[in-house]
Structure 1
Amino acid sequence: MIGKLEGLNMLDTLSFDAMNTTFYFSVTSCKITNWKEVMQGWVRYVETEWSRFRANNELGQLNQLEVGEKVNISPPLFDVLQRAEDYRRKTHNLFSPYLLPQMQFHGYKDTFPFEQSQFIERAAPPMYNKETSPFLFAQNTSTVTRAAEGQIDLGGIGKGYTVQAAARWLKDIGEVAAGMVDGGGDITVWSNGCKEWKIGVAHPFQNKIDIAKLHLKNGSIATSNIIYRSWMHGDEKKHHIINGRTGLPANNNMIQATVISDNCLDAEVGAKLCLIETEMNFQNQLQNLSPTCSFLLVNDQGKVLVG
């Protein structure tokens, strides 16, 4: 996706690679002069502490807890964990942050890029599908206690949270009148109401071609597809969008989903639901997330669906 703010000539920008993607910031004047250092520090913190590929970070400490053990974590990780659990309950497990064993079972054990993963014949790991969270949250101390088994992979919702939090800081603390934060397709934009962003949605197979141009003053957009992060696992093609009820890669004939909403977390979770849920049901799922959600989908025949 590429965003362009109509009517503003003086924009300050920042771009750097993190989390296996490119983060791009474009803002009007910010009252915090070192905003670029703050943004890089925030994204680097998430990249380091929330990655499932690092055993000794905050997320790794959580995943290694035994039942009854507890750990104090940073307020942002505490917050995103609770939000992820809220989405799991709201979607009745279609979305789940507890899919690390399933990701690894299907061969997603290393960071991208890779084309082939080692196939080991074994039984599929059990799903976490209880009504309650495997963790207890103590609000006053940001302490998390393990109550049951459950392994966390924040994945896309962690990136969406990163984008949303960065945009909120720039708007509220930095008093930026108009801006955009783009974390590899998870995008939040805002303006004083007089300006408009144009955001192109790339074709799933030809990323230099746009299948649509979206116009947005304030809001968020997230795009997911089953092509970019895909690999061969033995003789099977696998991808990273996992159905939280079955533990299997999504297979509903959609290959790309773009969701537009008021905030980046709704858009991020909504895009995944569009790739998991049946065509008859995903619109209800989106409405359950937020009445403001709209979508742009591409199916495996190349047909574009809008709603």
Structure 2
Amino acid sequence: MTAKQEDLNSEYVMQLEAMNTTFYFQVKNCLKKDWKNIISNWILYIEKEWSRFQIDNELYRLNELTVGEQMMVPPPLFDILQKAEDYRKKTNGLFSPYLLPQIRFHGYDQAFPFSSALSNEFELPSVYNRMDGPFEFDQDTNTVKRSSPGKLDFGGIGKGYAVQATAQWLKEIGQAQAGIVDGGGDITVWSDGEKEWLIGVAHPFEKNKEIAQFRLKNGSIATSNIIYRRWKQGDVQKHHLLNGKTGLPVESSIIQATVVSENLLDAEVAAKLCFMEDHENEEFLKMAKVNLIILVDKNGNIKVEH
């Protein structure tokens, strides 16, 4: 997923390398002159505190809580924890933020790029399948209490949250008349009614080639792909997109899914569900108010659904 980019030297444009991807920001008439510093600090904060590859950050300390222990967490983490659990329930477990043991089991225990991982001698850990989430929330104090085991890995939804929160801040606090926030293909745009953003959908095998283009004034786009982040574990091909019900990499003829919706987190979760043949994913796609889906299968065939 790409957005048409303009002069990086402009006061209304910024590019940032973080979370193993390239972020691109462009605004129109933002009233906050120091917006670049504020947004950079926010993105780098998420990269540091929500990464499962870091030790002694917010996510690590949360995962280390034992049953009955509690901790006070910053508002963004408090918010995404509840949103992620809500998506788990809405998708009946197809999406799950509690797949850290499983993704490590499959060999994704180091940051990309890597091409191989050691085979695992143990059995696949059981997935988290309780009706209630592993945390209880005190809304008055932003305190989280662990009530059952369950290890977190936000993955794509963490990046999507960072993008959507950035766009919301620029629009509401910065009062930017129009803007785009692009976090490596997770995109949110807004417009004053005049500005129209040109969005290109990247080819799954050739990053510099586009398979489609469309224009959007307001909305969000998310793309999931099982080609870029894949590796060999022994003789077995693995990728990062796991089924929340099984803990296994999804098996699908689809290799890339792009979803357009009003809300980026809806689009992010919906894009993942496009790889899973389950009647429950259709229910969520209707609930998420998806406007457009672009699917690419392993033979390169493209399917567009409105």
State the TM-score bracket (shorter-chain normalisation). Answer: over 0.9
Quote the residue 2:163 is aligned against: 163
- The corresponding residue for 2:146 is 146
The letter of the residue matching 1:119 is: S
Which letter maps to 1:72? M
Aligned letter for 2:285? L
CA contact (8 A) 1:88 1:96 kept: yes
Secondary structure (helix, strand or coil) at the match of 1:14 reads strand
Following superposition, the deviation at residue 74 of structure 1 comes to 0.5
Compute the displacement of 1:281 (Å).
Answer: 6.1
Shift, 1:2, TM fit: 2.5
Does residue 299 in structure 1 map to residue 293 in structure 2?
Answer: no
Mean CA deviation greater in 165-174 or 119-128: 119-128
For structure 1, which segment, 76-85 or 116-125, has the greater mean C-alpha deviation from structure 2 after superposition? 116-125
Mapping 1:34-183, distance limit 5 Å: 34-183=34-183
Instruction: Name the structure 2 match of 1:19.
Output: 19
1:252 shift after superposition: 1.8
Contact residue 136 and residue 146 of structure 1 kept, 8 A: yes
TM-score, normalised by the number of residues in structure 1: 0.95
Give SS of 1:169's match. Answer: helix
1:213 shift after superposition: 0.1
**CA gap 1:281/1:138 in 2 versus in 1, 3 angstroms:** closer
| 73-82 vs 291-300, greater mean Cα deviation | 291-300
Q: 2:283 corresponds to which letter in structure 1?
A: N
- C-alpha distance in 2, partners of 1:53/1:13? 30
Task: State yes or no: 1:284 paired with 2:283.
Answer: yes
Indicate if the aligned counterparts of 1:253 and 1:300 stay in contact, CA closer than 8 A.
yes
The yes-or-no answer on 1:268 pairing with 2:284 is: no
Name segments (4+ residues, structure 1) moved above 4 Å: none
Deviation at 1:300, TM superposition (A): 1.0
Q: Any stretches of 5+ residues in structure 1 without a counterpart?
A: none
TM-score, L = length of structure 2: 0.96
Work out the CA distance in 1 between the residues paired with 2:225 and 2:50. Answer: 22
Tell me, in whole angstroms, the C-alpha distance in 1 between the residues paired with 2:5 and 2:116. Answer: 40
Distance 2:55 2:206 in 1: 36
Residue 206 to residue 39, structure 1, CA distance change in 2 (3 Å): same
For residues 226 and 267 of structure 2, the distance between their equivalents in structure 1, rounded to whole angstroms, comes to: 16
Q: CA RMSD in A?
A: 1.5
Residue identity in the other structure for 2:155:
G
> Which amino acid is the alignment partner of residue 228 of structure 1?
Y
Secondary structure of the structure 2 residue equivalent to 1:23: strand
* Residue type at the aligned position of 1:171: K
Question: How many angstroms does 1:195 deviate by?
Answer: 1.8
Q: Which amino acid aligns with 1:249?
A: P
User: 1 CA distance for matches of 2:5 and 2:52?
Assistant: 35
Q: Does the 8 Å contact 1:97/1:152 carry over to 2?
A: yes
Distance 1:5 1:50, change over 3 A: closer
Question: What amino acid maps onto 1:75 in structure 2?
Answer: P
Aligned partner letter, 1:51: S
Check conservation: 2:66, 2:146, Cα contact below 8 A.
yes
Relative to 1, partners in 2 of residues 1:138 and 1:18: Cα closer, same or farther, differing over 3 Å? same
Deviation per CA, 1:54-110, whole angstroms, max 9, x where unpaired? Answer: 120000001000000001111000000100000000000000000000000000000
Distance 1:130 1:302, change over 3 A: same
Does the 8 Å contact 1:107/1:233 carry over to 2? Answer: yes
Counterpart amino acid of residue 56 in structure 1: D
**Counterpart AA for 2:304:** V
What are the Cα deviations for residues 215-263 of structure 1, in whole angstroms up to 9, with x where unaligned? Answer: 1000000001001110001100100000000110011211000000001
Contact 1:287-1:293 within 8 A present in 2 as well: no
1:208 aligned residue: 208
1:258-279 C-alpha deviation (Å, 9 max, x unpaired) = 000001101111111112235x
Q: Check whether the contact 1:258–1:271 (CA below 8 A) recurs between aligned residues.
A: yes
Moved more, 10-19 or 165-174: 10-19
Deviations 1:7-29 (A, max 9, x none): xxx87110010000001001112
The answer to whether residue 184 in structure 2 is matched with residue 184 in structure 1 is yes
- The question of whether the paired residues in 2 share the 8 Å contact of 1:5 and 1:198 is answered with no
User: Would the aligned equivalents of 1:5 and 1:195 in 2 still touch at CA under 8 Å?
Assistant: no
Cα distance change of structure 1 residues 294 and 282 upon mapping to structure 2, 3 Å threshold: farther
